Structure 1
């Protein structure tokens, strides 16, 4: 249960102001079918984060538990610093729009998550908790918690949120996870 809660909370907070949340806003403005966009986000996140969690579990199995503990803690500290750097949406990917809202969302979200801080967090969370299903479920819930409201209320803009404070709070959360990994 701890893996599910930690994964949900960290990804939901880390996702606020992230490029995929901004992408959700763009897709919501572009397409009327909000259900297809939400389904695309769900499927892309499940696929991407399952692969990331699997890599985390595979990688942690290759090293000693003590080294793994230090690497996981260092990774949480690195993500804490990384989250302080605001994301921007990459160049408009309009060539995918012709595929419709479901396929366009799936492709764009899957690509946007590659190497993103929430994907890296999924690798680290999976390595820490050794609970692949709970981590994937939690990180997916976190993505949906952060992105579904943006899709539903497409006119709501991320610029209205106190992103600097949200990023700082998220950085503190990742740093606390790093400290807890070292101490527990």
Structure 2
């Protein structure tokens, strides 16, 4: 249960104000088909979360506990730093001539591939024998952060103060990462 909750919370924080939210909202504005956008988002997120969790479970079998903690610490440090740094603008995929579902699935799959949440899910999977819980936690964390962006679209930024949330979330992820990294070296 720890893997599920900690992965959910950290991925949810990492996705607030992230490019996944922005692209999902832009696609919802463009197509006006929430169901198709949400289905594409769900499939893309499930695929990426499954790849991450499977990769993390393999890492767990190859290396000992200290390097796994260091990997987890670095995943959180880079996620936190990424939230605090300047970000590139998101391509709204206006040149893509595919139906809503395919555009959402392919666009969000590509955008999420190698993203900070994928590394957090992999790190959490490597830290526990219950990698399926990390998969579920990561999937639900991304979905919980992104569904409101699809449903609320541009109003999300008016309702939720995304910039302060990004700063607080980034700081929390950095702190969590430094704690894990110091544990890897036996400092704390």
Q: Tell me the TM-score range normalised by the shorter chain.
A: 0.7 to 0.9
Matches of 2:106 and 2:116 in 1, distance apart?
18
1:132-171 matches, cutoff 5 A: 132-158=131-157, 161-171=160-170
Structure 1: give runs of 5+ residues left out of the alignment.
Answer: none
Equivalent residue, structure 2, for 1:64? 64
Normalising by structure 2, report the TM-score.
Answer: 0.86
1:28, CA displacement in angstroms? 0.9
Distance 1:18 1:159 in 2: 15
C-alpha RMSD of matched pairs (Å): 2.2
Q: Is the 8 A contact 2:124 2:131 kept in 1?
A: no
- Unmatched segments (≥5 aa) in structure 2: none
Q: Tell me which moved more, 35-44 or 148-157.
A: 148-157
TM-score norm. by structure 1 comes to: 0.87
**Map of 1:107-118 to 2, 5 A cutoff?**
107-118=106-117
> How far is 1:74 from its partner?
3.1
CA distance in 2, matches of 1:77, 1:177: 8
Going from structure 1 to structure 2, the CA distance change for 1:55 and 1:26 (only over 3 Å counts) comes to same
Question: Contact 2:80/2:172 (CA < 8 Å) preserved in 1?
Answer: yes
Task: Give the paired residue count.
Answer: 183
What do the CA deviations read for 1:50-71 (whole angstroms, capped 9, x no partner)? Answer: 1011111212322122222233
